[in-house]
A and B are shown apart, each in its own frame.
Chain A
Amino acid sequence: MLQTHLLRSLSTVNANEIAHFTRLSAEWWNERGEFSFLHKMNPVRMQFIREKLVETTYDELPEEAVNAKKVRILEGLDVLDIGCGGGLLSESLARLGAKTTGIDAAESNIAIAQHHASLDSRLPRNLTYRHTPAESLLQEPKRYDVVCSMEVLEHVDNPVMFLKTCAELLKPSGHLFLSTISRTPLSYFLTIFMAEKVLRKVADGTHTYSKFINPSELLDFFHEFRSPSTPQDAETQARPWISRLYDGQPTRKEAELRGMIYNPLSASWILAPRGAWGATECNYLFWVRKPAALGGEASEH
């Protein structure tokens, strides 16, 4: 009790949410159980991360220097997975070569994640898990090339503070990947009414409608948001992370929204094409890039 109290005062973690996921932690790696939707969603998230990293590399390097087919595309990068749960995404990130840190506010999740990772001896040694809220990492000097937080934003208490924390944990030119759910009648119908109440595919009480975040709200946040000033990147904070919105849409190099649509016939998720109509009405992925440090920004032009 004391512990959760402490957590609440320090971070955006919601104690009830943690209790909920603690109950479910043993189920994380049952691919046909409570988390089957997440297991099936994982390849789509990874596809998005992969495509986006390849795309940004193509933008920065000459054509022939990019090997888009390379498996270990995250080789050498420091990657943080906030709210790693049982480690579904963390393991995938580590397999692509990332120096991965998975953190979760539920201790039992971390135990499950560590146990599962130890079963796969061919999983690279560059995967560590820590039981800590994201906010406490701000005290440490380490910053990350990629920060992922999948299906977490709709479970935190203070999304604004949470997003600021994620942003702060990135190196300049770092990538932030988020996935969450829109607050629309459709998303209520699909994720709460159908998935939790009618079909009972997802544990009842997993989602709270009022906590869902609309894509436009994320865009507006990063349209305003400037990295807090520190002496070394004082120059870069001049521009917000999304400098301009065109017809409500960001430019390809600054941010991107992609819908994820569940196809019940094939029991799989699909990554909707960029700008597909209505695709972000329910589950969606969001990518935004921290502005480069001074030297880096010059080379972008």
Chain B
Amino acid sequence: MLSVHGASRVLSRPLHNTCLNYIRRFASTSREEFDVVIVGGGPVGLALATALGSKPELNKSLKIALVEAGDLSKVRDWSPSPAAFSNRVVSLTNASQTFLQNIDSWDHIEQERTTPIEEMQVWDGVSDARITFSTSELGLPTPAEGMARLTETLNLQRSLLHHLITTPSVEVIDQSRVQSISPDEISGAWPSVMLDTGRVLKARLLVGADGPNSPVRAFAKIPSYGWSYDTQAIVCTMEHPPKGPFLGPNTTAYQRFLPTGPIAFLPISATASSLVWSTKPSLATALKACEPPVLSRMINAAFRLPEVSIRYLNNRILEAHEAGTPITDEEIRSEILWREQSHSIDTTSAYSSATVATSASSGIPPLDAEMVPPVVTSIQSGSIASFPLRYNHTESYVGEGQGSRTVLVGDAAHTVHPLAGQGLNLGLGDVECLARCIHQTVLRGGDIGSYTALLPYTQERYVENHKIMSACDKLHKLYRVSSGPIVQLRSVGLEILNELDSIKAALMMTAGSVSRTDRPLSYSSDTRAAMFGAAAKGFEGMRMAGQVLEVVKGGLVGFVGNALRNAPTTRQR
């Protein structure tokens, strides 16, 4: 008892404290202290720094550092020619756009290099069942703005960086690689980030915005689970003639679900669009090795020909690649032409791509011109790339124990199949929530690195992200099946109705443009309004369920009816 008392008295003696403080300060002369250290200068990391820096009242309270291994001046000075587009594009939902407007970054986006998505066409590669949705029918407040806006990742990054340069409370430290991260040996609480330039940053809160192989996640020992899809996504910038006078502008996104994975056509300008083609790794390698004109023809075919022919063409490409004799443009053209003829696709149809002359778009377009994307004529040089697809979700977004005071955002916390274009939007959703969480904590005098302060962030984002991630995962798996009862169900139309609706839902979930920046984290008067909203939605949901049930019932009756009607005929044979 006595000794305990004695010890605590010594500890609390002011002189001792002063000594301790002196030693501490002496020992940490080379350490710089920051309230927030963000590792990773991608769009998510930049957005977080901007969001925190854009609140004038936080300027005095938060000292922020952003660490990036690459050279950000390349992003800052990025000025491409108007016709050339980078191969990495992002689809920003209206919610993401509103967030970017709220943090004053949207004005720095080069608007000429963005395209609104006004319509989406999604169809089943095997059964050709199709769903189309356009902004006018989604009931968005501003249909002219589109359901999402496509732009290059670099355009977004540059706009954030331009805004960040004018923010005094944020120090951007680029060309600095994180060498190691260690828990602080003195306090045992604040992590230190060692950079290869010799600088040591001590962080009250360490944010991992450092992508799928996050070093911050490794430091905080946050487990992550997931699987590889055995799929590579090929990306490139495709060039095509502008849409004809009788067609709308190039604002329709197309996506076809093939058994090898979805292929998507994403417009970025009148004559250029971006490709995201998810396919088997071996095929991706073979396609990338082809001459660019061959790839163009394969892209055109993949959007047009029946699945059986695409399978044949894929095998053809693979065989030629393995034999070491890459297929030539003329060979693939004649193959496609032959397949078109054998499927009796008329040369004037939009589904024909082998014989189309590039000037064809000037005349009256074929009746089915809206069903498929414009014919790709060439691919911008150097724009072909590919990356593996993974599903990953960490067990938590906040580190504990030795890894306390760390938090993960964006791809460091979750990677998702790109089929709904939600990856970056989820990341921006994280950033919006984390910035709100930090703001609230600062206003209440809390410690922004504490578990308690970060808990609302995990609570709000984990389930939200998981919903969308698993929707995308399920869709990918569902459409990889090319035969058997699932395809039958798909082609009967029941699953089409349901599952395609969930793409719509996945898109719609974040498509709302209602700002969430000012939403309080705790109970307040608008909780009541939210409750009424939820109740109303529940009612709506029940009504919808009723309608779906009706359709299913109708479908089943028709199905059974058909089966009965067919039964006698089969017996007659």
Contact = CB atoms under 8 A, between A and B. Distances in A.
Nearest to B400: A32
Interface string B437-465: 00011111111001111011001000000
Contacts of B523: 261, 270-273
Nearest to A119: B187
A120 B442 CA distance: 15
Contact of A131 (B12, B440, B455): B12
A47 to B, nearest CB: 6
Contacts of A96: 445
A107 B446 contact: no
A33 B480 CA distance: 47
A14 interface: no
A71 interface: yes
B12 A114 contact: yes
Interface string B29-49: 000010100000000000000
Contacts of B4: 108
A50 B12 contact: no
Interface string B1-35: 00011001101100001001100100000000101
Interface stretch (B53-61, B164-172, B268-276): B53-61
A69 B33 contact: no
B525 interface: yes
Interface residues on A, range: 35 or more
Interface string A192-218: 000000000000000000000000000
B58 A71 contact: yes
Contact of A122 (B11, B35, B440, B450): B35
Nearest to A265: B459
Contacts of A270: 522-523
A278 B447 CA distance: 32
A71 B21 contact: no
Contact of B446 (A43, A111, A114): A43
Interface string A241-269: 00000000000000000000100001111
A31 B33 contact: no
For the complex, would chain B's binding face be called helix, strand, loop or mixed by DSSP majority?
helix
Nearest to B452: A39
B522 A94 contact: no
Interface in B154-194: 187, 189-190
A46 interface: yes
Interface residue tally on B, bucketed by range: 35 or more
A146 B450 CA distance: 26
A114 B18 CA distance: 12
B204 interface: yes
Contact of B451 (A31, A69, A108): A31
Contact of A111 (B11, B442, B450): B11
A68 to B, nearest CB: 10
A91 B8 contact: no
B452 A40 contact: yes
B56 to A, nearest CB: 8
A115 B552 CA distance: 66
Contacts of B61: 71-72, 95
B459 A266 contact: yes
A31 B446 CA distance: 13
Nearest to B34: A122
Contacts of B451: 31-32, 39
Contacts of B443: 50, 69, 71
A96 B35 CA distance: 15
Contacts of A122: 33, 35, 204
A44 interface: yes
A57 interface: no
A235 B20 CA distance: 50
A269 B20 CA distance: 37
Contact of A118 (B20, B57, B60): B20
Nearest to B184: A119
Contacts of A261: 523
Given A39-B452, A92-B445, A107 B8 contact: yes
Contacts of A273: 523-525
A272 B524 CA distance: 8
A94 to B, nearest CB: 7
Interface string A33-45: 0000001101110
Contacts of A282: none
A123 to B, nearest CB: 9
A121 B447 CA distance: 12
Interface in A94-134: 94-96, 107-108, 110-111, 114-115, 118-122, 129, 131
B445 A91 contact: yes
A118 B187 CA distance: 9
Contacts of B60: 71-72
B455 A95 contact: no
Contacts of A167: none
Given A50-B443, A114-B17, A42 B452 contact: yes
A39 B21 CA distance: 27
Contacts of B442: 71, 95
Interface string B512-555: 00000000001111000000000000000000000000000000
B318 to A, nearest CB: 52
A31 B452 contact: yes
A152 to B, nearest CB: 19
11 contacts: A39-B450, A42-B446, A47-B444, A50-B443, A71-B443, A72-B60, A107-B5, A110-B12, A119-B190, A122-B33, A268-B455
Interface of B: 4-5, 8-9, 11-12, 17, 20-21, 24, 33, 35, 57-58, 60-61, 187, 189-190, 204, 400, 440-447, 450-453, 455-456, 459, 522-525
The 8 closest A-B pairs by CB, nearest first: A92-B445, A270-B523, A46-B444, A111-B8, A95-B445, A119-B187, A96-B445, A31-B451
Given A107-B9, A121-B24, 6 more contacts: A47-B444, A72-B61, A92-B445, A108-B4, A110-B12, A272-B523
